[in-house]
Amino acid sequence: MCPFQISLLEAADRPAVEALLDRVFGRDRKEKSSYRLRAGNPPCPALSFAARMDGRLVGSVQQTPVAVGDACALLLGPLAVEPELRGRGIGRALMRHALDAARAAGWTHVFLIGERAYYAPLGFGPAAAAGVSVAGEPADRVHHMALRPDSPAPRGELRPRHPQTEAGRTSGE
């Protein structure tokens, strides 16, 4: 395990985050369905985090509100770690920190698009089992976690949330 600290992402981190995301996912990353879901809707500042080693940004995770059915939920991602530092627990620590923050903020459901092998051990299950899909995305890449197990999952297609038409909504309720 390497020593790293997790803190909120700041506006000044944006260039470093964008460079990290380009290194990890490629410059064509914005063509992916997850980016279409985030289009025009910035991530929640209080739910987006950086991992730093010796002051250098080495990982990040963001969470963005999305719509599913007639409810709001979070879309976790992108989650990225410097390639040479993978396998040292940074990504998992960022993920747990982000999920804990979302739970504390009152959100009830989180979705993400990614590899099942990575996210299933962290408690994510198939979103299709909850009745949720993402247009253009294979069902085995769309995952769900209930942050409050007593809260039934929203059902339908995950789609961009338009904050200007949902002013005042801050949680997944």
Cβ atoms of 172 and 72 within 8 Å: the answer is yes
Identify the CATH assignment for 5-165 out of 1.10.10.60, 3.40.50.280, 3.40.630.30, 3.40.50.620. 3.40.630.30
- Chain mean position to CA 124: 12
pTM recorded for the entire structure: 0.88
pLDDT band at 166 (very low <50, low <70, confident <90, very high): very low
If one counts every other C-beta atom within 10 angstroms of the C-beta of residue 161, the result is: 22
Would the pLDDT of 1 be above 60?
Answer: no
Query: Over the stretch 108-153, which tens digit does the pLDDT of each residue have?
Result: 999 999 999 999 999 999 999 999 999 989 999 999 999 998 999 8
Q: Can you give the residue ranges of every domain in the chain?
A: 5-165
